Chain A
Amino acid sequence: MKKLDHELSMKRLPKSPTGIKGFDEITGGGVPKGRPILVCGGAGCGKTLFAIEFLVRGATEFNEPGVFMSFEETNEELTINVASLGFDLKDLIRRKKLVLDHVHIERSEIEETGEYDLEALFIRLGYAIDSIGAKRVVLDTIESLFAGLPNQLILRAELRRLFRWLKEKGVTAIITGERGDDKLTRQGLEEYVSDCVIMLDHRVNEQTSTRRLRIVKYRGSMHGTNEYPFLIDETGFSVLPVTSLGLEHVVSNERVSSGISALDKMLEGKGYYRGSTVLVSGTAGVGKTSIAAHFAEAACKRGERVLFFCFEESPNQLIRNMLSIGIDLEPWVKKGLLQFHATRPTLYGLEMHLAVTHKAVNAFKPSIVILDPINTFVVSDKDIEIKTMLMRIVDFLKANQITALFTSLTSNESPLESSEAGISSLIDTWILLRDIELSGERNRGMYVLKSRGMANSNQIREFILTDHGVELREAYIGSKGVLTGSARIAQEAKESAELLIRKKDVERKKREIEQKRNALKAQISALHFEFESQESEAIKMIEIEQNQIKRLKLDKLQMAESRHAQIENVNIKKIKDK
């Protein structure tokens, strides 16, 4: 099996890495090794830069020296132009890693007097290649020959020969070409260079320009077919492999605190999942940025890196404003844990933002990214574009296990849940902030609209910004909805008053019962006394009666005795004793 794999990889098209950020990813390793590659595009789209970076990276990173044959810019111009990207061509030339050759063709100087060929160019190029053992060649822009040499028949035949010759030489060559009206290049170079064609584009949409790269064809290799935005900045060219990376990212069970303990409690007491996407949405001034700042501060306290993109405020303004609610972000910035990226969303197009985000994230390697707010992108009003862009950002961040917090501004007219550029499906935890207008006040309410994978609280809390941060209060449900602010305070007062009354009631009742008991006790004892007196009287009566009975009997006996009457079975004495 392993052997088979090996054999397959041997048969695969060998590739030459360009070293251009992102490009090697979308082409699966770079441009085809030892073959000519056509890079075409309109004026100012970055063809020359792509080519020169290919050479510079080759020379510095892959030990593949290169020859740059320029038909347009002079060597001096070229050196100065690319110095702004940090490429020191002079040094490379000195180290024999690069040869610059400016081919100058002045139409007015030339007189054609018969048959000729471009063998001299071949020799010249061949000499340059051999002088440093070059593996890479750039011809920029060979189409200039068409302007200098009138005989197109010869030229075309010679170009065909040139590309074949380059292949035979085994050099990887980039040939640039200006974009034509209905063809890829003005002179139809794609006819000769057909192994790999890369198209660069520079489009202006809604007054913002976006650079894009597309691989039109790539023989013998898989490649991404989309248009990829790319970026030219102080570090050179970067292509962004920004198509959806799929949903195969690893998930984490780890939780990260939101920085607000009450909010954590609403989320099972633990906070967000690491690597999840959190959306904080709400109307203007409800405290979205404050929640974001809390999150950032908490992360910095844990020693994690936070990348904060602010599209509305400057970093200094944000730091100052957050200080007013007791969040001091400045020390974290100084420590290098917190990095701000402040740009106006209108500065560049959506793809460019995506590109900048990618780049910044790759450079800073944060564990938390905050975008505040995302809907400032909605200038272009193209929901689908924004959605795909955000999806790309979300996927990218998820793939890197980065927890993302987006804030989103909802306008008052639109329904709260629908407005977020249709991105709700991308969001794992959605915290909704809303203002509640009641009894002449505007207060803030907060609830967790959804939170995937956790038993979140369903309660609406009142959200208060204090000088020591965000606080969440229990909200009261009144007849007109949630009671907040002074209405809540009034409700609280009312309830405590009611409680007092109840307490007093209870005490009064207790006292009443006590009194009743006492009264009853008194009654009982009175009756007892009455009974006792009656009882003693009755006993007395009984005694009297008994005595009388005794008396009578005694009398009878005495009478009988005096009469000496015989009394049956009666012993008088006995009776007497009694």
Chain B
Amino acid sequence: MKEKATKVKNWPKELDAILSSHDNDKYILRLYVTGSTCRSVLALMNLEKICEEYLEGRYELQVVDLYQNPSLAKGDQIIAAPTLIKKLPLPFRRIIGDMSNKEKVLLGLDLRDKLK
């Protein structure tokens, strides 16, 4: 993965931060759910599976129940549930749904490209 990135010539400097975060491979994720509905549970299960598979040991996942922390919805601009926020690495992404479409989750987590 690292090799691939360095191969690119004339890489814009602004993207260095993004690159370095990629390099650090530190994923900070936050999953917003609404109580323990089956959709919430499904999302959490799917996500954990993906994370374990692709990001083992280099991710932080925080699960927020909006029913208990309703004020947090405003700060992270949450409207749909479940919503997964990828805070780091940049770019910022929100992945909504029960995470049953694995391909799309990987796309959202910017893991899709790198697999190829």
Contact = CB atoms under 8 A, between A and B. Distances in A.
B73 A115 contact: no
B79 A109 contact: no
B79 A120 contact: yes
B94 A109 contact: yes
Interface of B: 32, 34, 39, 42-43, 46, 66-67, 70-71, 73-74, 77-83, 91-101, 104-105, 107-108
Contacts of A116: 39, 80-83, 96-98
A101 B99 CA distance: 27
Interface string A82-119: 00000000000000000001011100011111111111
Scoring B42, B77, B94 by chain A CB atoms within 10 A of each residue's CB, the highest score goes to B77
Contact of A118 (B74, B77, B81, B91): B81
A371 to B, nearest CB: 52
Interface string A106-145: 0001111111111111011011100000000000000001
17 contacts: A101-B74, A103-B77, A105-B77, A109-B94, A111-B95, A111-B107, A114-B97, A114-B99, A114-B100, A114-B101, A115-B97, A115-B98, A117-B81, A118-B81, A120-B78, A120-B83, A124-B66
Contact of B98 (A113, A121, A124, A126): A113
A113 B95 contact: yes
Nearest to B76: A120
Interface string A519-553: 00000000000000000000000000000000000
A216 interface: no
A111 B80 CA distance: 11
Interface string A408-439: 00000000000000000000000000000000
A121 B76 CA distance: 12
Scoring A101, A104, A117, A120 by chain B CB atoms within 10 A of each residue's CB, the highest score goes to A120
A116 B99 CA distance: 9
Contacts of A111: 93-96, 104-105, 107-108
Contacts of B74: 101, 124, 127-128
Given A109-B94, A124-B70, A117 B104 contact: no
Contacts of B105: 111, 113
Nearest to B98: A114
B101 A119 contact: no
Contacts of B81: 116-120, 123
A104 B99 CA distance: 22
Contacts of B94: 109-111
A113 B104 CA distance: 6
Contacts of A103: 77, 79
A149 interface: yes
B113 to A, nearest CB: 14
Scoring A113, A118, A128 by chain B CB atoms within 10 A of each residue's CB, the highest score goes to A113
Closest 8 CB pairs of A and B: A111-B108, A127-B70, A114-B97, A114-B100, A113-B97, A124-B73, A114-B98, A121-B79
Nearest to A111: B108
A104 B78 CA distance: 9
A110 B94 CA distance: 5
Given A117-B34, A118-B79, A121-B80, 6 more contacts: A110-B95, A112-B96, A113-B99, A120-B73, A123-B66, A124-B73
A116 B107 CA distance: 18
B93 A109 contact: yes
Nearest to B108: A111
Given A115-B97, A116-B39, A123-B73, A109 B92 contact: yes
A114 B67 CA distance: 21
Nearest to A131: B71
Nearest to B102: A113
A123 B71 CA distance: 9
A127 B69 CA distance: 9
A232 to B, nearest CB: 30
Contacts of B43: 114
Contact of A117 (B39, B46, B70, B93): B39
Given A119-B66, A123-B70, A113 B79 contact: no
Nearest to A101: B74
Contacts of B66: 119-120, 123-124
Given A105-B79, A109-B92, A111-B105, A120 B97 contact: no
A290 B43 CA distance: 82
